[in-house]
Amino acid sequence: MNKIQKILQSTTLKAVFVAILALLLLIPVGMIKSVIYDRENNRQFAIQDITSKWGNEQIIAGPILTVPYDSYKTVDGKQIKETAYAHFLPEHLNIETTISPELRSRGIYDAVVYSSNISFSGDFEKPDFISLGIGLQSIHWNNAFISIGIPDIRGLEERTDFNLNNQKLQFISGIKTDDVIRDIGGSIYPNGEIEAKRVTMEGLGKSSSGLSVNVPSGALSSKNTFSFDLKLKGSERIAFVPVGKTTDVKISSTWIAPSFDGSFLPDNREIDEKGFKSDWHILDLNRNYPQSWIGSTYGIYDSVFGVSLIKPVDDYQKSNRSAKYALLIIALTFLVFLSFEIFNRRRVHPIQYILVGLALVLFYSLLVSISEILGFNIAYGIAGVSTVGLILLYSYTILNEKKLVLIEGGILIFLYLFIYILLQLEDYALFIGSVGLFFILSTIMYLSRKVDWYSIDDRDGNDQARIF
């Protein structure tokens, strides 16, 4: 063997080539991750298209009693009169909600939508203007109104009345002032955090979205009871703002996978195969705004709470997480082939390494495409069996020894099962993954502890030193 041939067949050079190839294969893996991201976006567009026609998620704020009054300010030495608003929240607010969910499909994508029956009841104390520093002579009692914020009023299914002190008042569309009920611009979570969502219908999400009731002059008394019902459609989530001094909310549904979110978790909840029931009891002391104020002094949406009707499994997220372990699968598979070359004198051509690497990468493409139709678990099994089977059949033609192929198959099956377990154990994935990798590395170090790496390239071709 001449010097050039010896260099080309050097174990060190082959190991460097294998390492570089493993890193280069991360390029197509990255392309598959982009495909996963694009498919996930396609799903979001499909869901948004469905929900924009049915009704978006609903965040209900109210009822809120608002009374206009005359306010004066000095500009350039002159007093200017303008209309300001005083806002009063209920003493007690009771809400009972029944949600009827269903799945709507667009192609291969599903969206969770719902119809809800919501019953409101409670009472207002007579407005106390003196505590707000407002003179009684400046109050416009005949222009008082009650407002309920509903971000997507297209979801209203039936006309209903507002019962105030046993008097039926008609709702009108829109809010007269956005001092309190404002443009929320997306999904509101704890501490006022907003998750922006695409809005496909022009005008949706603008301020003053909801219903109002004009309160006749003289209709307010020392204690004002109210009640009304809403039959409201929406999608994915329903939430409420605890505007009562005491707010009691009950929600029930046949959906078996609720996610309770927002600033308050339910005090009691029951979840079983028939659905869920939950209830909240929230005090005014639990939020950061009082029972009455002037103008836009306070915002109420940082106290939103509710429930999301989630789908139990996010297949795209799991596919993306599995792709993060691609380097581990590729590196350990190549290491097995390299050990066969070093210790069992089985020659593996660089082209064969490339073909095996591409088969490993193709696993993720199969996983994503099949999971869109059959679900992640079935897709993982089909893609895994197909990939391992393809590599083992190809390896048998290369190695021509059943024992080595069986060893390789056992290692691949272990790796794919190990990754699958990690994907199921989200909370303990880091711990289990770290322990597993430590075990794998320890095994490799143990098996190679007595190898004289400097003398491997100097072995005679007949030297059949074996590790397996």
Q: Show pLDDT as tens, one digit a residue, over the chain (468 residues).
A: 555 555 445 666 777 787 888 888 888 888 888 888 888 787 778 777 777 778 788 899 989 999 998 887 777 667 787 888 889 999 999 999 999 988 887 777 778 889 999 999 999 988 888 888 888 788 888 888 999 999 888 888 888 889 988 889 999 888 888 888 765 545 554 444 545 443 333 333 334 688 999 988 777 777 889 999 999 998 888 999 999 999 999 999 998 888 898 889 999 999 888 889 999 999 989 998 999 888 888 888 888 999 988 776 567 778 888 888 888 888 888 887 877 777 666 777 778 888 888 888 888 888 888 887 888 888 888 998 998 888 888 888 877 778 888 888 888 888 888 888 877 776 666 677 677 777 777 776 766 666 665 565 555 444 444 444
User: Do 341 and 193 share a structural domain?
Assistant: no
How does 171-206 read in b/e, with b if 16+ C-beta sit within 10 Å? beeebbbebbbbebebbbbeeeeeeebebeeeeebe
Scan for tokens 């396609």, then name that residue. 42
Decide if 168 is inside a domain.
yes
Instruction: Please state the domain count of the chain.
Output: 2
Instruction: Indicate whether 141 and 247 sit together in one domain.
Output: yes
Q: Which residues of 380-398 are buried (b: 16+ CB within 10 A; e: fewer)?
A: beebbeebbebbeeebbeb
What is residue 119's predicted lDDT score, i.e. its pLDDT? Answer: 94
91 and 228 assigned to the same domain? yes
Based on the fold, state whether residues 240 and 369 are members of the same structural domain.
no
CA distance 65 to 85: 10
How far, in Å, CA of 374 to CA of 173, rounded?
A: 45
Task: Note whether 94 and 198 are same-domain residues.
Answer: yes
The reply to whether omega before 63 is within 30° of 0 (cis) is: yes
Identify the pLDDT of residue 41. Answer: 80
**Structure confidence at residue 452 (pLDDT):** 60
Residue 326 shares a structural domain with residue 357? yes
28 falls within a domain: yes
pLDDT score for 446: 67
Domain that holds residue 168: 56-312
- Residue 103's pLDDT is 82
Please report whether residue 17 resides in a domain.
Answer: yes
Is the domain of 165 the same as that of 294?
A: yes
- Which of 289, 312, 335 marks a domain boundary? 312
Q: Are residues 163 and 272 in the same domain?
A: yes
Model pLDDT, residue 461: 46
| Statement: the pTM of the whole predicted model exceeds 0.85 | no
Question: What is residue 213's three-state secondary structure?
Answer: strand
Where is the domain boundary, 268, 284, 312?
A: 312
Do 26 and 88 lie in a common domain? no
**Is 49 a domain residue?**
no
Q: What pLDDT is recorded for position 90?
A: 93
Do 270 and 135 lie in one domain? The reply is: yes
Which of 282, 312, 342 is a domain's end point?
312
Give the model's pLDDT for residue 123. 92
pLDDT at 268: 92
Which residues fall within 8 angstroms of residue 434, CB to CB, at 6 or more apart?
Answer: none
CA distance 61 to 190: 15
> Does residue 463 belong to any structural domain of this protein?
no
Assigned domain for 76 exists: yes
DSSP state of 139: B
In a domain, 171, yes or no: yes
Tell me, yes or no, whether 16 and 113 share the same domain: no
Residues 29 and 100 in one domain: no
Query: Residue 343's pLDDT is what?
Result: 66
